[in-house]
Amino acid sequence: MPRRLRTLITSFSLILFVLFAVLLGRLDTQIVGDFDSDGDVGFQDFLLFAEAFGTTDETFDLDGDGAVTFSDFLSFAEAFKSHNGIVDPEPDHVVLVSLIDGPVSITSAADLAGLLEQVTPDSFVVDGDLRISGSDLQSLRDLSGLCDVTGDLTIEDNTGLKNLLGLDRLNRVGDDLQIVRNEILTDLRGLGQLERISGDLILTGNPELASLRELSALTSVSGVVSIRDNLTLESLIGLDGLTVLSGSVLIENNASLTTMTGLQNVGTVGQIVSIRDNESLESLEGLERLATAQGLVITGNASLLPNEANILLDQMVARGFQGLTTIAENNVSADLTIVDGNFVIRTQADIERLRSLGGDRFMVDGSLVIVESDLQDMEPLLTLVEVTGSLQIDRNPGLASLDGLFGLRTVGGNLEVTGNTALQSLFGINRVRTVKEHLVIFRNRRLRSLNSVRRMQVIGEGIDIRENEILPESDIIAFRDTVRARGFTGTFTHFNNGP
């Protein structure tokens, strides 16, 4: 055979060998569990798998059953162990995780005992729905090994549960979490590790439920958030980790709820926001960032002043909201008295007279001037909720604070606090949300802080802060930045204040 031909054959053989080696190398890298294709099964692969858990992503569906479930996790764990040379521990150190197929129903202590006989009590997963209903259980502590529920978790009609201690290891619910009609449930202790709900969050008809604080780890709800008919629930604090919600938000018929605080980080709602029939709701504070929703419904909230809803709507429109809106039948309480006229208060007798005209809850349809008085505080005005004109608090030498104006929410004209030489704090007007024209804080020699007015949502035309001798410049700048972040575009004047 000619030398040249032998050389060609040899070269071709080398090329084939190199291609085979490369192909073999590539095939070798197709490792089960190597989701980031870096040639090993490591912690980054675990993070990717954890993110996909509960979805139908084919990449992570290792057993090919159409969903990423606990059985896929076991396959991934085996691959991780094998690839990293991890040796099984001695038998007396093995921690087993039991998998029990759902649905599982617990209606009595006997049912609970039966479940624990089927699983490893220290660590188990319900692959499907878990329903705890109609029982007289006084504790869920025997469920302390529950790590995951891949379907619905329903806790309803239980007469003895005061809290949910025992569910402390649960950090995910694969579908809906429903906590419904539990007669003496006072709080949600036990859900402090819950981070994600892949369906709806439904809290309905729990008459003694007073707090949601134990949901503070929750950052994701994929469906509806429905909080209804909880008689003693005063606050939504605990939902602070939620920012984007795909479903509707339904806050309805919670008789003791006073504000929306707790939802202040929610900017986007995929469907409807409905705030209905919450008879004690006085403020929509907590919805400051809400910008996007398909619709907004605010109706039948007996204590909510009409302008609260209109202000929220104006703010949302300014952020781009274009959804449908229903705002009606708020502030229908018969006990709101409208006191017509302009009032000047110089003495204790004057302020007591206005109080007698107003009754238990009132608004002044006009202006209110408190000037050169002998007042030490404004306690008789505790039930004042709105002044449609201007409110002037001017040259009251004995007035050290504005205590007594806690009920005030809205000033339709200017709010002026001027020349009060003993005034150290603006505490008392800390719940005012709206000043439609100017906010003026002038020549209050002992005023130390603006903290009490930082919660104002709307200031219409301008802010004037001057000649408050010891008021720190840093406090003024912080206040300016806060109101501008909320959309204030008017004039901001400040000079001759403190250092």
| 12-67 pLDDT tens trace | 444 444 444 443 444 444 577 787 777 777 767 777 877 777 788 888 888 777 78
> What rounded mean pLDDT belongs to the chain?
86
Q: Are 291 and 315 in contact (CB under 8 A)?
A: no
Does position 469 have pLDDT exceeding 80, yes or no? yes
Look at residue 30 in the predicted model and tell me its pLDDT: 56
What is the CATH T-level fold of the domain 31-85, as seen in this structure? Type 1 dockerin domain (1.10.1330)
Distance, in Å, from the CA atom of 173 to the CA atom of 115, rounded to the nearest integer, reads: 19
pLDDT digits (tens, 9 = 90+) for 142-166: 999 999 999 999 999 999 999 999 9
Could you give the 3-state DSSP secondary structure of residue 227?
strand
Best CATH choice for the domain 337-495 from the list 3.30.470.10, 3.80.20.20, 1.10.3720.10, 3.90.550.10: 3.80.20.20
Count of positions (residues) in the chain: 499
Q: Of 303, 353, 296, 297, which is closest to residue 319 (Cα–Cα)?
A: 296
Residues 6 or more apart whose CB falls under 8 angstroms from that of 343 comprise 350, 354, 364, 366, 367, 368, 369
Best CATH choice for the domain 98-328 from the list 3.80.20, 1.10.20, 3.40.50, 1.10.10: 3.80.20
Helix axes 70-83, 43-52, angle to 10 degrees: 170
Distance, in Å, from the CA atom of 71 to the CA atom of 121, rounded to the nearest integer, reads: 19
Q: Considering the chain, tell me which residue range(s) the CATH 3.80.20.20 domain(s) occupy.
A: 337-495
Look at residue 12 in the predicted model and tell me its pLDDT: 46
Q: Of 441, 407, 408, which is closest to residue 425 (Cα–Cα)?
A: 441
Residues 6 or more apart whose CB falls under 8 angstroms from that of 207 comprise 183, 230, 231, 232
Look at residue 96 in the predicted model and tell me its pLDDT: 64
Look at residue 361 in the predicted model and tell me its pLDDT: 83
Considering only the C-alpha atoms of the chain, give the largest distance between any 2 of them, rounded to a whole number of Å: 126
Which range among 116-125, 354-363, 486-495 shows the weakest confidence by mean pLDDT? 116-125
Integer CA distances (angstroms), 481 to 320, 373, 489, in order: 22, 34, 11
pLDDT digits (tens, 9 = 90+) for 232-274: 898 899 999 999 999 999 999 998 898 899 999 999 999 999 9
Look at residue 15 in the predicted model and tell me its pLDDT: 45
Q: Are 366 and 389 in contact (CB under 8 A)?
A: yes
Distance, in Å, from the CA atom of 278 to the CA atom of 254, rounded to the nearest integer, reads: 5
Q: Are 469 and 439 in contact (CB under 8 A)?
A: no
DSSP 193: T
If one compares 81 and 222, the residue with the highest pLDDT of the two is: 222
Query: Which single residue is written with the structure tokens 């009409």?
Result: 306
Query: pLDDT tier at 331 (50, 70, 90 boundaries)?
Result: low
Q: Of 191, 143, 196, 157, which is closest to residue 173 (Cα–Cα)?
A: 196
pLDDT digits (tens, 9 = 90+) for 414-425: 999 999 999 998
Look at residue 1 in the predicted model and tell me its pLDDT: 52
Look at residue 16 in the predicted model and tell me its pLDDT: 44
Beta bridge partners of 394: 371, 418
Q: Considering the chain, tell me which residue range(s) the CATH 1.10.1330.10 domain(s) occupy.
A: 31-85
Query: pLDDT tier at 93 (50, 70, 90 boundaries)?
Result: very low
Does position 411 have pLDDT exceeding 90, yes or no? yes
- DSSP secondary structure letters along 127-138: ES-EEEES---S
Report the chain's terminal Cα–Cα distance, integer Å: 100
Burial call 337-375: b when 16+ CB within 10 Å, e when fewer: eebeeebebeeeebbeebbeebeebbbbebbbbbeebeb
Distance, in Å, from the CA atom of 45 to the CA atom of 457, rounded to the nearest integer, reads: 45
Q: What is the mean pLDDT of residues 430-456?
A: 89
